Copies of this chain bind each other. A is one copy, B any other.
C-alpha cells in the first residue's frame, strides 16, 4: 500500500475531509486542521485533503496537500497499519519480533520525475511543493513535517529512518535538527570524524507502516524498513537514490536528496514542540539539496506535531504504549500489567498511567520503578491504577488519586532524570547551551511515581447493579433521550468488603421488603453508652 492508496482507503471509510475553499498554506491550512484537535473529540477527527492551495504571495499550486493522514486518531493510525484499534499493540509488538528485510528493486514510481542540476532550480526546488507553515505567527519558515530522513551508519551501512522536521531556508537549502543522542546524530558524528558530509534522503508521503517505524523508538541495531516490512507482512520495496547512496521506498510521493554538512552550524528553529511551547533556536547543521525526485502528480504530506493532542503525540503515544507494555509485561515479567496509557496532554510521553491486576502489594512499586528506569527522559508522572480504572480517562484517574491513595504513604519522587524539552527543569535560555541542559545540577530532573491502587478491600462502587443499569438503558432509549456515551464505571460492583448479610438486605430492599431490614436493625438496637465512641 502506498500513500495515495491509504488516502483513498481513508476516503472510502469516511475518514477524509476534502476542503473546497482556496486555502493559503502559509496562514490558513494548518490552523484549519488545528481546530479539530482543540475542538472535536478524537473519534470525529479526520485527515484533511487540500486540493486548492495558494500562498502568501498568491501563487497557486498544482500539488495538493494532505495533513493528518497518519494519526489524526487511533482509528486512522490503525487503518494505516492494516489493524483495528484493538489489534494495534499485537501488530506492532509482532512486527518488532518478526522483521522482514526490504527488497531492492530497479525502478520506482518515486522517480517518475527527476530534477537534478539545472532542472532542480528550473522546477523551483522545494518551492515546487506547497510546504505549509505549521504555527503561523511564531514559526520563522515553512517546515517539512511528514519528513522521514534516511541516513546510513558510515561504518556498517545500517540504515536509520527518523522523522525530523526541516526548516526551508531557500529553494535548495534546509535546516535540520540533528540531536546528538538520536541515531542520526551518531551517523553525523561518524561522518564528521571522517571529514565528510552525511548523505541523506528526505522522504515525504509513504506507506504509513514506514512512518510508524520512523516514529518509533527501536534499538540502534534494528532497521526501520524491516520493522515496516514486519508490519505489512512482506518486504518494503526500495530503489537507489539518484545522487546519494541511500535507498528510498519505491512508491514514495516525493524524495529530496542531499548532503548534511558536518562542518558548519547555523541557527535552526523556533518550531513548536509536543510540550505545547515553541522550541527555541539551536545551532544545527543544514541540508544542501542535490536532487528532487517525485511521482507524477505527487501529493504533498504534512503532519501536526506541536500543541498536544496532535498527530505526532498520537503516534508517540501508541508507540510508547507498545514499548512500555512489552518492557513491563515481558522484559520485567510483571504478570499483573494490563495496560499502559500515555496521555496526549503530556505530549504522549510525560503523563503515564499503568493499569494492573496486582498479585502482591509490591507489584505496583515494581512497575513504577521499572517504568522510571526504561528511559531517563520519558515520563514525568507515573501512576499505577487498578483493573477497574480506565487509565486513559483523566476523570477516572483523578477518582483513583482522590480515593485510593495517601500521599505520605503512596507517593515518591525519583531524581536523576534527564531533561527532554522540559522548560520546567531549566530556563529556556539555558536549554540548548552546554551539558547542563540535560541534567540540572545537582540531582537532575525528577519524576513523580504514585501507587493509586486499593491497599485493602473496599465497599462496592456506589452505582446501581449492572442489571438495573441495563434496564435503565432500555427505558432511556424507549423515552427517546439523547445518545449516551457511558464512561466506566457505569454500574456498581464489589471491591471485596461486602458481606452475605449486606447482599441479603439489599435484596430485601429491591423486593419491597425494606421493613425486614428495619426490623433487623431494631434487633441490634443498643443503648448509646454501650456503643463504641465515635
A56-B511, A411-B413 known; 9 new pairs, CB 8 Å cut-off, are: A21-B478, A26-B510, A27-B468, A44-B482, A277-B461, A306-B462, A307-B461, A410-B424, A429-B497
Question: What chain B residues lie within 8 Å of A482 (beta carbons)?
Answer: 40, 44
B170 touches A515 (CB 8 A): yes
Top-8 shortest CB links A-B: A272-B462, A137-B465, A169-B518, A39-B484, A56-B512, A31-B472, A394-B394, A346-B402
Question: What chain B residues lie within 8 Å of A527 (beta carbons)?
Answer: 263-265
Q: Of the candidates B27, B351, B459, B521, which one forms a contact with A510 in the assembled complex, judged by CB atoms under 8 Å apart?
A: B27
B425 touches A534 (CB 8 A): no
B398 touches A17 (CB 8 A): no
In the complex, whether A4 has a CB less than 8 A from a CB of chain B is no
Question: What chain B residues lie within 8 Å of A464 (beta carbons)?
Answer: 27, 30-31, 34, 135-138
Which A161-185 residues sit within 8 Å CB-CB of chain B?
A: 167-170, 173, 175, 179-180
Given contacts A140-B509, A275-B403, A482-B44, contact A345 B458 (CB under 8 A): no
B403 touches A422 (CB 8 A): yes
Taking the closest CB of chain B, its distance from the CB of A146, in whole angstroms, is: 18
B411 touches A424 (CB 8 A): no
In the complex, whether A508 has a CB less than 8 A from a CB of chain B is yes
In the complex, whether A266 has a CB less than 8 A from a CB of chain B is yes
Taken residue by residue from 251 to 282, chain A's Cβ proximity to chain B (1 for < 8 Å, 0 otherwise) reads as 00000000000111111101111011111101
In the complex, whether A98 has a CB less than 8 A from a CB of chain B is no
B512 touches A468 (CB 8 A): no
Nearest B residue (CB) for A517: B140
Question: What chain B residues lie within 8 Å of A441 (beta carbons)?
Answer: none
In the complex, whether A395 has a CB less than 8 A from a CB of chain B is yes
Question: What chain B residues lie within 8 Å of A456 (beta carbons)?
Answer: 423, 427-428
In the complex, whether A302 has a CB less than 8 A from a CB of chain B is no
A69-77, A84-92, A214-222, A444-452: which lies at the B interface?
A444-452
Taking the closest CB of chain B, its distance from the CB of A415, in whole angstroms, is: 6
Nearest B residue (CB) for A19: B479
In the complex, whether A380 has a CB less than 8 A from a CB of chain B is yes
Question: What chain B residues lie within 8 Å of A410 (beta carbons)?
Answer: 424
Taken residue by residue from 137 to 155, chain A's Cβ proximity to chain B (1 for < 8 Å, 0 otherwise) reads as 1111110000000000000
Taking the closest CB of chain B, its distance from the CB of A448, in whole angstroms, is: 4
Q: How far does the alpha carbon of A285 sit from the alpha carbon of B522 in the complex, in Å?
A: 11
Taken residue by residue from 511 to 534, chain A's Cβ proximity to chain B (1 for < 8 Å, 0 otherwise) reads as 110110110111011111001111
Taking the closest CB of chain B, its distance from the CB of A521, in whole angstroms, is: 4
In the complex, whether A361 has a CB less than 8 A from a CB of chain B is no
Q: How far does the alpha carbon of A139 sit from the alpha carbon of B443 in the complex, in Å?
A: 52
Q: Of the candidates B399, B407, B528, which one forms a contact with A346 in the assembled complex, judged by CB atoms under 8 Å apart?
A: B399
Q: How many copies does the complex hold?
A: 2
Question: What chain B residues lie within 8 Å of A533 (beta carbons)?
Answer: 434-435
Q: Of the candidates B264, B459, B473, B487, which one forms a contact with A278 in the assembled complex, judged by CB atoms under 8 Å apart?
A: B459
Taken residue by residue from 276 to 311, chain A's Cβ proximity to chain B (1 for < 8 Å, 0 otherwise) reads as 111110110110000000000000000000111000
Taking the closest CB of chain B, its distance from the CB of A279, in whole angstroms, is: 7
Question: What chain B residues lie within 8 Å of A350 (beta carbons)?
Answer: 402-403
Q: Which of A35, A142, A396, A508 has the most CB of B within 10 A?
A: A35
In the complex, whether A381 has a CB less than 8 A from a CB of chain B is yes
In the complex, whether A405 has a CB less than 8 A from a CB of chain B is yes
In the complex, whether A455 has a CB less than 8 A from a CB of chain B is yes
In the complex, whether A492 has a CB less than 8 A from a CB of chain B is yes
In the complex, whether A157 has a CB less than 8 A from a CB of chain B is no
Question: What chain B residues lie within 8 Å of A526 (beta carbons)?
Answer: 264-266, 283
Nearest B residue (CB) for A175: B521
Question: What chain B residues lie within 8 Å of A489 (beta carbons)?
Answer: 38, 307
A345 touches B272 (CB 8 A): no
Q: How far does the alpha carbon of A35 sit from the alpha carbon of B497 in the complex, in Å?
A: 25
B463 touches A406 (CB 8 A): no
A458 touches B428 (CB 8 A): yes
In the complex, whether A187 has a CB less than 8 A from a CB of chain B is no
Nearest B residue (CB) for A18: B479
B446 touches A424 (CB 8 A): no
Q: How far does the alpha carbon of A511 sit from the alpha carbon of B136 in the complex, in Å?
A: 10
Question: What chain B residues lie within 8 Å of A137 (beta carbons)?
Answer: 464-465, 467-468, 492, 506, 510
